[in-house]
Amino acid sequence: MRAVVQRVSHAEVNVAGETIGAIGRGLAVLLGVGVGDDPRDADWMVEKIANLRIFPDAEGRMNLSVRDIQGGILVVSQFTLYGDAQKGRRPGFSAAALPALAEPLVDRVAAGLSAARGRFGADMQLHLTNDGPVTLILDSPSRP
C-alpha cells in the first residue's frame, strides 16, 4: 500500500461539482493499493498516518501528530500511485490492485482514521493548501 501524505491547512474533494469531503487543518492522503496488499497493510497505514509527528509544537519543531492537534484527515483513493512510466510514454498500472481488492482496503484505512473521503472510482477534483509544504511518501512493509 502506498500513500502520499500532505500536511494541509485545508483540503476538499469534489465530484461533479459537489464537495463530498472536506477538512481544515490536518492531512490529505492519496492512497493506492497494490497487488498483494491485505488488511495488515491497511492497519499498518492507519497507525503510521495517525501517529506521524509532522505538525509543529510550541517551539516550531515537527513533534505533534494529527491526533495531537485534533486535525482532520481526508483520504482519496488513487490507483495511479502504482503507475509505472519507466518504459514508453503511457504508464502501466499492472502493480495496482483491482477495484474488488482495493476498495475495501481504502475503506478500511479511511474508517480506521475516521477520515473524510473521496468516492472510489469517481472522477474527482482535489483542492488543497499544502502547509509547509510537508509531503511524505509511505509504503507499507514488504512481506515474504
Q: Is 78 a catalytic residue?
A: yes
Q: Which of 78, 86, 125, 135 is catalytic?
A: 78
In angstroms, the first-to-last Cα distance of the chain is: 15
**H helix count then E strand count, the chain:** 2, 8
Residue 112: Cβ-neighbour burial (10 angstroms; 0-12, 13-18, 19+): middle
Q: Which of 19, 80, 125, 129 is catalytic?
A: 80
Q: Is 79 a catalytic residue?
A: yes
What residue type is assigned to position 106 of the chain?
V
Q: Which of 6, 70, 79, 135 is catalytic?
A: 79
Q: Is 6 a catalytic residue?
A: no
Based on its alpha-carbon atoms, the radius of gyration of the chain, rounded to whole angstroms, reads: 15
Taking the C-alpha atoms of residue 116 and residue 96, their distance in angstroms, rounded to an integer, is 23
- The cell numbers describing 68, all together, are 495531537
Would the CA dihedral through 104, 18, 55, 65 be positive or negative?
negative
Residues labelled as active-site residues: 78-80
